[in-house]
Amino acid sequence: MCQSVPGVYIFGDSLVDVGNNNHLPLSLLKANFPHNGVDFPTGEATGRFSNGKNAADFLAEKVGLPTAPPYLSSKSEVPITGVSFASGGAGLLNRTDDLFRQAISMTQQVDYFALVHDHLVQQLGSDGARAHLAKSLFVIVIGSNDLFAYFHNNSKVSKKYTPQQYVDLMASTFKQLIKRLYGMEARKFVVTGVGVIGCCPARRKETATSECKVEANNWSTKYNDGLKLLLQDLKLELSEINYSYFDTYGVMNNIIQNPQTYGIIETKEACCGLGNMKADVPCIPIATYCSNRRDHLFWDRVHPTEIVSSLFANLLYNGTQEVTFPINVEQLAKL
């Protein structure tokens, strides 16, 4: 076990949800049924929006820890090695969850962490908890759903804010949440930018020629630029903070532009689904799924395949400064 990382605390959306949404009775976003999990070690659906493992699983493996279990499944006993608050459909902004009826918003995830923090103080004492959390990784994968909510048909928020006001609001909300976590001893942050959301099958199928939605991609880039600046500012403002930022957009765009480099063949169509781009119907039991999952970028309408999640985690862990900066997770863990 990598002694340098005693725990991993995961915050975010369906890209890293390991089963929290299974415990949300009203949520419209669940993955606890086939064909999800077809390549998971047990062959069963676990609540991961994937054919197998997701980035949270692979990152835990990299640092030698078990995958952080879903917070909603471990209320009485929170393992010392970390916990996951990530929830499918979650956003930085509380209203984003309205799209999917029920999700654990980022604010609520941080509220839950406050309870875990108190639990750790009881268990380890305040000095012990501080030392444990200062060495732990705080992984934050969020923002895509906020942008989906803005650029989706009949979007209410797009009537209220200009795109620039909206991405600024996302960034300022993110900053407040990081500062709250820092106030509860979090020191090492792993932050991922938003991917090429206009190129997922759910968006491509809305265009006549299956092209990417340019506007959604442009604002994803603008949000990511703001996020990078915000992290640099926080580093100046909070003396003990360290972070690794992962350029999800750049890596995903590179896979789309040069798929053969990564052993990927199909970058447009989903593997699991039905209809146009296999994205008219989501990955539910009546859907069909491809046999060649290792050469698809997308598992379903919006989520990557297991192989792509693994690729992301590898680059996040020990990638060059081109994709993960100012340092990668391997370097962050050693600080």
Tens of pLDDT, residue by residue over 98-119, are: 777 899 999 999 999 999 999 9
Average pLDDT of 325-332? 97
Half-sphere exposure of 212 (CA within 13 A, CB side): 19
Tens of pLDDT, residue by residue over 311-322, are: 999 999 999 999
Is 2 contained in some domain?
A: no
Q: Which residues contact 322 (CB under 8 A, 6 or more apart)?
A: 247, 250
Among residues 132, 247, 303, 309, the one annotated as catalytic is: 303
Average pLDDT of 29-43? 97
Q: Which domain holds residue 288?
A: 8-334
Neighbours of 169 (CB within 10 A): 16
What percentage of the chain reaches a pLDDT higher than 70? 99
In angstroms, the CA 25 to CA 317 distance is 35
What percentage of the chain reaches a pLDDT higher than 90? 92
Q: Tell me the CA distances in angstroms from 167 to 88, 146, 154, 173, 243, one per residue in order.
A: 20, 9, 18, 10, 21
Residue 83 pLDDT > 70, yes or no?
yes
Average pLDDT of 63-78? 90
Least-confidence region, from 1-15, 137-151, 265-279: 1-15
Instruction: Please tell me which residue, 97 or 205, carries the higher pLDDT value.
Output: 205
pLDDT band at 229 (very low <50, low <70, confident <90, very high): very high
- pLDDT for 3 equals 61
326 prior amide bond cis, ω within 30: yes
Span between the terminal Cα atoms of the chain, in Å:
17
Residue 197 pLDDT > 50, yes or no?
yes
In angstroms, the CA 241 to CA 326 distance is 12
CATH of the domain at 275: 3.40.50.1110
Is 198 contained in some domain?
A: yes
**Longest CA span, the chain:** 60
In angstroms, the CA 213 to CA 205 distance is 10
Is 97 contained in some domain?
A: yes
Residue 2 pLDDT > 50, yes or no?
no
Is 3 contained in some domain?
A: no
How many domains in the chain? 1
Is 1 contained in some domain?
A: no
Is 284 contained in some domain?
A: yes
The reply to whether 300 belongs to the active site is yes
Among residues 13, 14, 105, 296, the one annotated as catalytic is: 14
Among residues 57, 146, 247, 300, the one annotated as catalytic is: 300
Is 161 contained in some domain?
A: yes
Least-confidence region, from 50-59, 130-139, 152-161, 297-306: 152-161
Is 267 contained in some domain?
A: yes
